[in-house]
Amino acid sequence: MPGAKAHTDGAWSVIPVQTRSERLRSYDPAAFDRPTGREVAWKHTPVDRVGDLFDGADADADAIVVRVSSADAPTLAVGASPRGDAFEPEDLPSAIAWTKVDAARHIVVEGERDEPVVVTVEGHGGIAYEHLVIEAKPFARGTVLLRHSGTAELAQNVEIVVADGAHLEVVTVQDWAADAVHVASHQAVVHRDATLRHVVVSFGGAVVRVNPSVRLAGTGSRAELYGLSYADAGQHLESQVFLFHEGAETSGDVLYKGALQGAGARSVWIGDVLIGPHAVGTDSYEANRNLVLTDGARAESIPNLEIETGDIRGAGHASATGRFDDEQLFYLQARGIPESEARRLVVLGFLTEIVQRIGLPELEAELIAAIERELAAGIALIEGERVTA
């Protein structure tokens, strides 16, 4: 029984699961209890706002439209490899999506691709399920860009397989309408001397929860996991990141940054790094930084690190959440820069560190423009509060 532990007197008690590696995994939705918000995996998520995705209702046929920019992607039935090679659901919505999607889209990256494969998910209202398998063949290089817009209640699985020597970048952009709900589970396995760069960008949506899980299985494999979020009033943007160093000589770099403004704006970041007993020579670091721009916004940041071998090169984690640095603002204002412009420069400089790591110039320009719009709205909010104060 998951979480059960025997005592010396023969009695049993349920020990809550605390580490990501110990969570229940199953393809069967019946193996999971309906979340109440007290579970370690759900206690930071507004379960009342995502409850429709716990019920397993049939999908609305027109809820989403999915398009792939390259040639039509073939589909994979349940049990057809590589579907299931890297994915095993660890929560109820991902298990339901596994059973609801008979044919998963299969994106194959071979050779060296100059242009990204673009997968667009356009929501038209209703409940939807999606499973996408992204496979990078040996020594391939390429980028897959996932773009989400419109409105829907979506439970999404993204399965990523990076073969020996391959270099794959997966960027997922959540630019939903204000009432959308998106619960996604991304799971990846990275093989020998391969690299996965995974980027999560969340701006739109009422509740967006994108949880990446990466297993560095092969010797010399590497993961670069980056995230960018900008939460407005009433929004909940969340990522629970898991990086498992399983093979030897692996390396990981995790950096998520977020900005928040407006009453009820909330972000959640949980970062779990596990360095396994055979992961000798590992070098790993994770960090989360949040900038709270107005009253009423809240960021939660929880880094966790487990090390099961002493023979590593390095491992660490860091987390920081705060408001503007008054000294930075004073420095800029002392040189004749108005306060509103000084604030804009500070936030822009804070967030563009992630944008510049994406490596897609058109998308980078688009995201800078989106940040500028968010900043303009935030500055107007701050100035309005001062007028009414």
- The pairing of strands 4-6 and 298-307 is unpaired
Q: Minimum mean pLDDT among 201-210, 306-315, 378-387: which range?
A: 378-387
pLDDT at 304 over 50: yes
Gap between the Cα atoms of 87 and 26, Å rounded = 10
Gap between the Cα atoms of 355 and 372, Å rounded = 13
Helix (H, G, I), strand (E, B) or coil at 151: strand
Query: At 335, phi and psi to the nearest 5?
Result: -100, 20
CA nearest to 146, candidates 209, 199, 212, 222: 199
pLDDT at 4 over 50: no
Q: In this structure, are residues 141 and 117 in contact, taking their beta carbons and an 8 Å threshold?
A: no
∠ CA(102), CA(108), CA(109), 5° rounding? 160
Burial (CB count <10 Å: 0-12, 13-18, 19+), residue 334? exposed
Gap between the Cα atoms of 339 and 274, Å rounded = 43
pLDDT in tens, 154-179: 999 999 999 999 999 999 999 999 99
pLDDT at 219 over 90: yes
pLDDT at 385 over 80: no
Six token digits for residue 285: 């670091």
pTM of the model: 0.92
- Residue 5: pLDDT band by 50, 70, 90 thresholds? very low
Sign of CA dihedral 177, 178, 184, 188: positive
Give the mean model confidence (pLDDT) for residues 246-266: 97
Distance of CA 261 to the CA centre of its chain: 20
Who has greater pLDDT, 26 or 12?
A: 26
Give the mean model confidence (pLDDT) for residues 250-277: 97
**What rounded mean pLDDT belongs to the chain?**
92
Gap between the Cα atoms of 98 and 28, Å rounded = 9
C-beta atoms surrounding 12 within 10 Å: 10
pLDDT in tens, 280-296: 999 999 999 999 998 89
